[in-house]
Amino acid sequence: MFLRANHREKDGKRHTYWSLVETVRTADGPRQRTLCHLGELNDSAQARWLKTIDVFNDAGERHQLKLFPSDIAPPPDDAEVAQVLVQRVRLERTRQLGPALLGLALWRQLRLDAFFETRVDAAPADVPWSRVAAILAINRLCAPGSELAIEERWYPTTALDDLLHVPEGTINDSRLYRTLDHLLPQKTALERHLTARYGELFAAEFDVLLYDLTSSYVEGAAPKNPMMHRGYSRDHRPDCLQVVLAVIVNIDGFPLSYETFDGNRADVTTLETVMRMVERKYGQARRVWVFDRGIVSDANLAAIRRRGGQYLVGTRRSKLRAVEQALLEGTWTRVRDEVEAQLIPIPGGTETYVLCRSTARREKELAIRRRFSTRLEDRLRGLETRVATGRLKDRGKIERVLGRLQASYASVADLYEMAVRDENGQLRLHWRLIEDRRAWRDAREGAYLLRTNLVGQTVEELWTKYIQLTEAEAAFRALKSELAVRPVFHQLERRAKAHVLVAFLGYALWVTLKHWLHRQGTGLTPARALALLATLQSADIILPTTDGREIRLRRVTQPSAEQQRLLDQLDITIPAHLEWNAECSGDFVAS
């Protein structure tokens, strides 16, 4: 970075304007980008002073100072003049401002600053606990990492200390860990606060609830955390202990609540616990529950009916046999391009099946089945040749090889008949494709079955309501990718639960940003908006003076047109300079 003089002829006089620029790489080669303008430096008597700034002396008293370049004579006997050595001006303490500014705006939009101030700041601390909570949540949104990573790598590179008025050097992993202990008891009140705030900001309703589960593995043995067990790992880490996370969102993805379970807890056993938890926090109501077939059981559906609730759920593929005639000969209604469905009353009850089929899904499943069938048939032909030529003579070995093939290609193995037979003292492998099973598989590809006790709704309404379950899946994608809820590094149960709570806070900021961007018509995703603002920075401009001192100006870089447009759409104002104490503003210091 360096100073550049810009000359302009005006009214017959030559004017010189100074700016701070940096060299950046572009598709067209190196270019200079202006970071900030320092103003005019010329010898005109009317414009001798370049800039008037606030300066603090050793006693903390504030006064104004006029800056002049060292090659221009200052007004005589003016005690408020400092001559600047322009050639030695430098830039220090660059900090990423944009994402931190956006995260803090979301934090305040949800009124989480006031929420935590009233609940945790009563406990004495050098830094208010509510501000440390903001740091944890904004980190989870912008660049999620462990508490140690926050202290050592992320927080020192951001302008959060200026934005939150946190003294330099006071954020460390110990303070972050202790903040987790203050946050966890606020879980229920926090969920209620956020639910109310979503309603105020976006008119969010929670009469239809989407329920789903995922898992998050832990690094280490976690011997002091009884929740950590091995179980079905959605992270494909069966070698690690894990915790199960259940999340409830509405049809727009706004979270109502979440719960943590032991890592070996079966999905189907969690629903009634979650329903009791929701009733305890929000009271009994006639809610509609939507979840996939992994949580479906007759006991769970009966529990919903006992509470006066309703449901729209997926069912296992085996249930398609019960509606075979409708699948082959029924009357279909197109509910979306390439998707059609029909209603089928379930005899002897108040429930209804919603039979759906998708052209795109059918093509995908057919392609997968053909690929695996081709591979299995190639392996069977090879095994058949080995047996026929006598290279494999032991029946037990042949059957073990068949067993491995069936396990490796389980999705298509049931379509084939396989047998080892003794023919005149010679073992032979016989296999064939079972045509009836193949025909049924062809008919059912792309089809899926829903089950509901809702009445008075069309097939289009029911299908649309169920497909909103993708919002719960989107919540988990955000938690696992952008917000990095996994892995869990904490070894204590309360800290692991607090880690999930911080991830929940991060998701609250993320989903608020998602809908905020959509409402303003920006066309941006949360990740794209954060990336766009990543180059917006704050920095200290150091102005050496002729009398051996230095003036420090903390300023913000000039946003690009695209950045400014986004900030305007989100009604976020960039501070002209960061000036909240003597250390962060025009500090007149000895060199």
pLDDT tens, position by position, 324-372: 999 999 999 999 999 999 999 988 778 999 999 999 999 999 999 999 9
When mean pLDDT is compared across 19-23, 151-155, 285-289, 344-348, the lowest value belongs to 19-23
Looking at residues 141-160, what average pLDDT do you find? 94
Looking at residues 295-302, what average pLDDT do you find? 93
Average per-residue pLDDT for the chain: 87
**Structural domain includes residue 485:** yes
DSSP-derived 3-state class of residue 2: strand
The beta-strand segments (E) located in 120-269 are 208-217, 242-249, 255-262
- Cβ-count burial 448-485 (b if 16+ within 10 Å, e if not): bbbbbbbeebebeebbebbebbebbeebbebbbebbbb
**Structural domain includes residue 146:** no
Strand partners, 556: 538
CA distances to 123, 158, 464 from 168, rounded to whole Å, are 21, 12, 52
Strand partners, 418: 431
**Structural domain includes residue 567:** yes
pTM: 0.80
- 278 with 332, same domain: the answer is yes
- 336 with 388, same domain: the answer is no
The pLDDT score that the predictor gives to residue 192 is: 96
| Enclosing domain of residue 300 | 204-351+453-491
131: left (phi over 0), alpha (psi -120 to 50) or beta: alpha
**Structural domain includes residue 517:** no
- 347 with 371, same domain: the answer is no
**Structural domain includes residue 263:** yes
Burial zone of 406 (CB within 10 Å; 0-12 exposed, 13-18 middle, 19+ buried): middle
- Is the predicted pLDDT of residue 239 greater than 50, yes or no? yes
Element (H, E) at 384: helix 359-388
The pLDDT score that the predictor gives to residue 37 is: 64
Residues making up the chain, counted from first to last: 591
131 contacts 171 by C-beta, under 8 angstroms: no
Element (H, E) at 551: strand 549-556
**Structural domain includes residue 530:** no
Tell how far CA 55 is from the center of its chain: 42
When mean pLDDT is compared across 19-33, 103-117, 127-141, 147-161, the lowest value belongs to 19-33
The pLDDT score that the predictor gives to residue 31 is: 73
- 74 with 215, same domain: the answer is no
Least Cα distance to 471 among 506, 509, 514, 524 occurs for 514
- Tens of pLDDT, residue by residue over 25-36, are 666 777 777 766
511 contacts 255 by C-beta, under 8 angstroms: yes
The pLDDT score that the predictor gives to residue 255 is: 94
- Is the predicted pLDDT of residue 414 greater than 80, yes or no? yes
- 457 with 440, same domain: the answer is no
- 304 with 271, same domain: the answer is yes
Give residue for tokens 């935590």.
116
- 239 with 331, same domain: the answer is yes
- Tens of pLDDT, residue by residue over 522-577, are 999 999 999 999 999 998 888 888 778 787 888 888 899 999 999 999 999 987 66
- 279 with 245, same domain: the answer is yes
**Structural domain includes residue 321:** yes
295 contacts 215 by C-beta, under 8 angstroms: no
- 242 with 265, same domain: the answer is yes
- Is the predicted pLDDT of residue 510 greater than 50, yes or no? yes
| Helices assigned H by DSSP within 262-297 | 271-282
DSSP-derived 3-state class of residue 34: strand
Number of folded domains in the chain?
A: 3
The pLDDT score that the predictor gives to residue 72 is: 60
- 415 with 544, same domain: the answer is no
- 423 with 306, same domain: the answer is no
d(CA 363, CA 350): 34
d(CA 332, CA 342): 5
Q: Count other Cβ atoms within 10 Å, centred on residue 42.
A: 16
CATH number, domain containing residue 258: 3.30.420
Q: How confident is the model at residue 20 (pLDDT cuts 50, 70, 90)?
A: low
**Structural domain includes residue 223:** yes
Higher pLDDT, 89 or 494: 494
- 369 with 289, same domain: the answer is no
- Tens of pLDDT, residue by residue over 36-51, are 665 664 444 233 333 4
308 contacts 319 by C-beta, under 8 angstroms: no
